[in-house]
Structure 1
Amino acid sequence: MRYGLSRTEFAVSAVLCLAAAGLVLPRVQAARADAARAQCTENLRKLGQACLEFEKAQGGLPPRRGGFNNGEPYSGWGAAILPHLGEEATAKKYNPKLDFFDPANKAAVETRVKPFLCPAAPAERAVRIESQASTKAANPDKDTVFTVAAAVSDYIASNGVLLPRGGYALNFNDAGQMNGNQRQPMGDNDVTPLAKITDGTSTTLLLIEQAGRPAVWRNGKKRDSDGQFGMSPNARGAWAGWGSIAFGPADAATGESPGRGDATDCAVNCNNWFGVYGFHAGGANVLMCDGAVKFVGPKLDPLTFAYLTLRDDGHAVSPNDF
């Protein structure tokens, strides 16, 4: 009687096990990717619902940036919607009369808030801020440099449209490279009523997935950088800080914005500082002003991206265009 496997039988068994693992592993990875994408979509939907609840309560969508050129405390839409997001505990820790990077707000601002995070994006990130208190912040100490490792947000609003100076951009309604800074669904320092979105809430972008900050990502590859604005208080990527940036396309080959102005330009998954950017195969998520979340990919061309960004450019965009 023989016990155990011969060397040949063991080798065959090992090969069969490896082959089975080779079949199972891709399925497991695909299932995880699908689950991450679904959760990412749900988180963005929750943010949209919270923004709309804020609009009902306050008469307008929250300010994308608080303290923009007016000396008020630095803040953003993320902090404003906390009570409508089911994040009452964090909201109670946050004092809007102080800058988001103030020591009194440190505990709140360094808290990772799930709805602001896409699980498909790299984990354990923070936006380091070093700054003195702003002019009108309630903290009387205007000399000490405060430091905070602010928890991130993978979703961002617009504060303008950045387009190349030639090509398809010449067909855009406004002249110049930077367009429509004050014609977004969210404005600076004050609320914006939905009635101002005359292009239609279903075809105007409220938030886009722009994951991976504060790191630089171009065409799926991480690049070395200190961040878009260094450690200044206007550094983007913190859920409690300034939650907007100019939207715009990139050169598909290099990932650099604002692109070339031709058919090679890319609006999705090429540049995580200006474009739609997610860590999903085939595209990323965007939130419309009516609260609907859409998954967009290569079909979203740069000019349509620009038209979707402004609230009142008068250009009709069909849901089938993106």
Structure 2
Amino acid sequence: MSRRGFTLVELLVVIAIIGVLISLLLPAVQQAREAARRAQCTNNLKQLGLAVHNYHDTHNSLPYPDLGITFESGNNWVNSWGLALLPMLEQGAAWDQFDPTATNGVSDQANQDIVTVQLGAFVCPTTPRSGLIQGIIEQEDDASSFNTSMSAAPGDYFIARSFRDDTMTPREVVGAFFDGSYTRPVRFNASTDGLSNTMFFFERANFPNVVIRGKQKKDPSDYSYASVVDTNFQGWWASTQHDRVRSWTFDGKQYYGPCVVNCTNDWGGAYSYHPGGMNASVGDGSVRFVPETVDKGAFRGFVGRDDGLVLNSL
């Protein structure tokens, strides 16, 4: 009895069919993985929003953006909102180890063991990165204090000081956490537009790497910052992690323009690696997915806490 095997043509056809099936399957697998990562990012922002509510219940104010519950004058950082929220995120042990008396606060060598702890609540799993940020600024806006021997764990979530666009009137609206002087506590009742209409946290992923649409690193000559070094006072969860949100052109090279999401993470640019938009925490504890196509005026109203704009949707 003779046995008939595969001919070479049949074998090639089978291999080709398997290749087509794999090519069809891979995008579905990647989409499923991104859906899981986006869900985790959503959960992170929800936990941060709830932590702010617990903080407000305890201290009767929102955390100071720079300095937690302790205000100090000058450029040395004593604290940050990320550190201030640690007890509300079941990280009280890390908070207890932090030394607020260190000369340079969060960026002092004495606090390296704390700021290098990688905490999942502060990072989006979709963001491509590996390890710690190497080299940090010891004093904000002081490029000479850049210390390459120090490092810090990354953070992808920021709070908005304000939204600014010089082509609009008024050109700037203030965010939920700020009073303008950095010295007075801000409470929930300052958000007269309603907490459900006011943004708390937004994604500014992969900073201090400065990137543009398409996940490419930006040419240093196009940076809005005075130098590459100056970018390293943010991008790690224990640092200030706040900025003035700006609109950009679609190529991510110039402000002000029609784009407010995913054009660049440079100078207050809202940016994520989620296809089609980014996650944002809302003052009522919910999380919204803000599409790249969002209208600039609607997003501005979302950032502003008392501009009189009530959002129907984004």
**Same topology, TM > 0.5:** yes
Equivalence for 1:235: 233
State the Cα deviation string for residues 124-181 of structure 1 (Å, max 9, x = none): 2526214379xxxxxxxxx996842111111100122221x33xx1xx3x35xxx24x
Measure, in 1, the Cα distance between the counterparts of 2:155 and 2:162: 19
- Give the direction of change, closer, same or farther, for the CA distance of 1:3–1:149 in structure 2 (3 Å limit): farther
Q: How big is the shift at 1:275?
A: 2.9
Q: How big is the shift at 1:72?
A: 5.2
Q: Which runs of 5+ in 1 are unaligned?
A: 134-142
Equivalence for 2:176: 185
The one-letter code of the counterpart of 1:162 is R
2:280 matched to 1:286? yes
Contact 2:301–2:311 (CA<8 Å) still a contact in 1? Answer: no
Which among 160, 163, 174 is matched to residue 162 of structure 2? 160
Q: Which deviates further from its counterpart, 233-242 or 213-222?
A: 233-242
Q: How big is the shift at 1:119?
A: 0.6
Measure, in 2, the Cα distance between the counterparts of 1:216 and 1:249: 16
Equivalence for 2:66: 65
Contact 2:159–2:242 (CA<8 Å) still a contact in 1? Answer: yes
State the Cα deviation string for residues 78-107 of structure 1 (Å, max 9, x = none): 111011012233323322333111112101
Question: Secondary structure at the residue paired with 1:259?
Answer: coil
With normalisation by structure 2, the TM-score equals 0.85
2:213 matched to 1:207? no
Q: Which runs of 5+ in 2 are unaligned?
A: none
The one-letter code of the counterpart of 2:129 is A
- Give the direction of change, closer, same or farther, for the CA distance of 1:147–1:132 in structure 2 (3 Å limit): farther
Equivalence for 1:318: 311
Question: Secondary structure at the residue paired with 1:250?
Answer: coil
Measure, in 1, the Cα distance between the counterparts of 2:254 and 2:78: 27
Measure, in 2, the Cα distance between the counterparts of 1:144 and 1:27: 44
Measure, in 2, the Cα distance between the counterparts of 1:231 and 1:89: 32
The one-letter code of the counterpart of 2:242 is S
Contact 2:211–2:265 (CA<8 Å) still a contact in 1? Answer: yes
Contact 1:103–1:146 (CA<8 Å) still a contact in 2? Answer: no
Counting aligned pairs with the same residue, the percent is 28
Contact 1:131–1:233 (CA<8 Å) still a contact in 2? Answer: no
Map 1:65-214 onto structure 2 (within 5 A).
Answer: 65-66=66-67, 70-71=74-75, 73-98=77-102, 99-124=105-130, 126=133, 128-131=135-138, 147-163=149-165, 165-166=166-167, 169=168, 172=169, 174-175=170-171, 179-180=172-173, 183-187=174-178, 188=182, 191-214=185-208
Measure, in 2, the Cα distance between the counterparts of 1:247 and 1:232: 17
Measure, in 1, the Cα distance between the counterparts of 2:54 and 2:255: 34
Equivalence for 1:36: 37
With normalisation by structure 1, the TM-score equals 0.83
- Give the direction of change, closer, same or farther, for the CA distance of 1:145–1:297 in structure 2 (3 Å limit): closer
Equivalence for 2:300: 306
The one-letter code of the counterpart of 2:234 is R
Equivalence for 2:269: 275
Question: Secondary structure at the residue paired with 1:100?
Answer: helix
Measure, in 2, the Cα distance between the counterparts of 1:7 and 1:68: 78
Equivalence for 2:11: 10
Equivalence for 2:214: 220
How many pairs align?
Answer: 296
Q: Which deviates further from its counterpart, 123-132 or 276-285?
A: 123-132
The one-letter code of the counterpart of 2:125 is P
- Give the direction of change, closer, same or farther, for the CA distance of 1:46–1:302 in structure 2 (3 Å limit): same
The one-letter code of the counterpart of 1:256 is K
Contact 2:138–2:233 (CA<8 Å) still a contact in 1? Answer: no
The one-letter code of the counterpart of 1:105 is N
